[in-house]
């Protein structure tokens, strides 16, 4: 068993999640503490500029425009996050066997065999004095895979550890939503389902300056506009069979631009719920249980809409003693251990690679 720290900075641009686990990459022997290092408004603005400057990237090593400055910020923020975490829990770097460093996705175009997560893994390893596995998505995309989602193999370990009979769906609602369908020991089936919180966050940022509909309060007061929801659901992505994945900015919120803020929030929240339910038609069997993780698990309005749209039992990661917020960081700790062991990170049924494939680049301190 190794002590591994996982680091995730996701598409919501809210900050760096940190988690410590003990695992051999197959089972999880213990969950350690978790941490979070938020981005401040200035850092988030720089990351948004970097996302915009990355839209035209063709060379995954190029760092035009704000990307070089943003990569330095991402590396520094992750280093600070780990250093504060170690200090908070009186841990020493030599007690950590490996760090799994996802970095910050700035562009994801698997159809062009291009995915870029900024963050300097070699610099982070040197700064922390800990072996660091980074650039975890590159091998999958280079092999023709979707390059996402990567959490399914960890979801499967969680479901197995909880002794849950399948079929169970584990749904991560981050900026983008992704689902893992798990039944017994069959390979997990997974894909991005559609929008998670990103459209809601961006809409609320535009209308109120706060990049969140906290507790789904605005959506709860609003009314879903059926015509706008139908327009949103007409996107061809929902008819595609898995494996499939998304860039954060894959969907437009133009359909709700004419709605009042609360009705727009309600309609975008319903869009997330209905697009999640649309994946059921592409699964071997409808899950009777959905376990929601990611920040969206904190949105009761979304959870209510998910239960209505799926017709299933919708619970949260916390209901099972998991950490909704830190689960992705835990996953990248698990994936880093698997990378060191040469175990597969992705599968034909999760990203569409031809064979189970390992990945990640190891940087020694």
Ligand X SMILES: Nc1ncnc2c1ncn2[C@@H]1O[C@H](COP(=O)(O)OP(=O)(O)OP(=O)(O)O)[C@@H](O)[C@H]1O
Binding-site residues for ATP sit at 10-17
d(CA 171, CA 3): 26
Residue 326 CB, nearest distance to ligand X (Å)?
A: 9
| Burial of residue 94, with CB atoms counted within 10 A of its CB: 0-12 exposed, 13-18 middle, 19 or more buried | exposed
**Using CB under 6 A, which of the segments 73-81, 128-136, 213-221, 281-289 binds ligand X?**
213-221
* Residue 108 contacts ligand AH0 per CB under 6 A: yes
Residue from 125, 298, 322, 338 in contact with ligand X (CB under 6 A): 298
Report whether 196 contacts 204 (CB < 8 A): no
d(CA 150, CA 147): 7
Of residues 226 through 265, those in contact with ligand AH0 by CB under 6 A are: 245-246
Residue 11 CB, nearest distance to ligand X (Å)?
A: 4
Residue from 9, 23, 75, 105 in contact with ligand AH0 (CB under 6 A): 105
CB nearer to ligand X: give 243 or 295: 295
* Residue 104 contacts ligand X per CB under 6 A: no
> Which stretch of DSSP H or E encloses residue 79?
helix 67-88
Separation in Å, CA 45 to CA 42, 109, 120, 256, 273: 5, 23, 20, 24, 28
- Who contacts 177 (Cβ-Cβ below 8 Å, separation ≥6)? 171, 192, 193, 194, 195, 196, 272, 275, 276, 294, 296
- Who contacts 260 (Cβ-Cβ below 8 Å, separation ≥6)? 222
d(CA 132, CA 128): 9
CB nearer to ligand AH0: give 256 or 329: 329
**Using CB under 6 A, which of the segments 148-156, 227-235, 309-317, 333-341 binds ligand AH0?**
148-156
Residue 87 CB, nearest distance to ligand AH0 (Å)?
A: 26
* Residue 174 contacts ligand AH0 per CB under 6 A: yes
| Phi, psi at 83, each rounded to 5° | -60, -40
CB atoms within 10 A of CB 227: 9
* Residue 6 contacts ligand X per CB under 6 A: no
Token digits of residue 268: 């975008």
Report whether 157 contacts 28 (CB < 8 A): yes
- Angle, helices 41-54 vs 67-88, to 10°: value is 140
**Using CB under 6 A, which of the segments 23-31, 174-182, 315-323, 357-365 binds ligand AH0?**
174-182
Per partner kind, with CB cut-offs from 5 to 8 A, the member of ligand X, ligand AH0, none near residue 245 is ligand AH0
* Residue 172 contacts ligand X per CB under 6 A: yes
Residue from 174, 195, 222, 287 in contact with ligand X (CB under 6 A): 174
Residue 340 CB, nearest distance to ligand AH0 (Å)?
A: 19
Of residues 29 through 58, those in contact with ligand X by CB under 6 A are: none
| Residue at token pair 């051999």 | 24
Residue 107 CB, nearest distance to ligand AH0 (Å)?
A: 9
Q: Which residues bind ligand X (CB under 6 A)?
A: 8, 10-12, 14, 172, 174-176, 196-197, 201, 212-216, 294-296, 298-299, 328
């Amino acid at each position: 068993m190794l002590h591994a720290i996982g680091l995730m900075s996701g598409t919501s641009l809210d900050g760096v999640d940190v988690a410590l686990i003990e695992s051999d990459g197959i089972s999880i022997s213990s969950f350690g503490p978790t941490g979070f290092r938020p981005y401040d408004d200035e850092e988030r603005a720089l990351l948004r500029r970097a996302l915009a400057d990355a839209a035209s990237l063709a060379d995954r090593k190029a760092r035009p425009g704000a990307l070089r400055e943003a990569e330095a910020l991402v590396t520094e923020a992750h280093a600070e996050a780990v250093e504060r975490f170690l200090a908070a829990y009186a841990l020493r770097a030599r007690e950590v066997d490996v760090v799994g460093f996802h970095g910050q996705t700035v562009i994801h175009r698997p159809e062009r065999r291009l995915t870029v997560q900024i963050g300097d893994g070699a610099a982070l390893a040197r700064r922390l004095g800990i072996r660091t596995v980074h650039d975890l998505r590159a091998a999958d995309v280079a092999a023709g895979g979707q390059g996402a989602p990567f959490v399914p193999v960890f979801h499967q370990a969680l479901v197995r550890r909880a002794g849950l009979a399948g079929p169970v769906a584990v749904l991560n609602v981050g900026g983008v939503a992704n689902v893992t369908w798990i039944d017994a020991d069959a390979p997990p089936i997974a894909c991005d389902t559609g929008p998670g919180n990103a459209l809601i966050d961006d809409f609320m940022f535009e209308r109120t300056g706060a990049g969140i509909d906290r507790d789904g309060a605005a959506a709860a007061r609003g009314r879903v506009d059926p015509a706008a929801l139908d327009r949103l659901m007409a996107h061809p992505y929902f008819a595609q069979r898995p494996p499939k994945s998304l860039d954060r900015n894959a969907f437009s919120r133009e359909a709700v631009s004419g709605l009042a803020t609360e009705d727009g929030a309600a309609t975008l929240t319903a869009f997330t719920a209905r697009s999640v339910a649309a994946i059921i038609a592409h699964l071997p069997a409808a899950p009777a249980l959905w376990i929601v993780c990611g920040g969206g698990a904190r949105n009761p309005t979304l959870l209510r809409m998910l239960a209505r749209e799926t017709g299933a039992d919708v619970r949260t990661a916390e209901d099972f003693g998991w950490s909704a917020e830190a689960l992705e960081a835990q996953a990248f700790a698990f994936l880093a251990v698997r990378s060191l062991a040469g175990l597969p990170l992705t599968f034909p049924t999760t990203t569409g690679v031809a064979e189970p494939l390992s990945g990640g680049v190891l940087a020694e301190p």
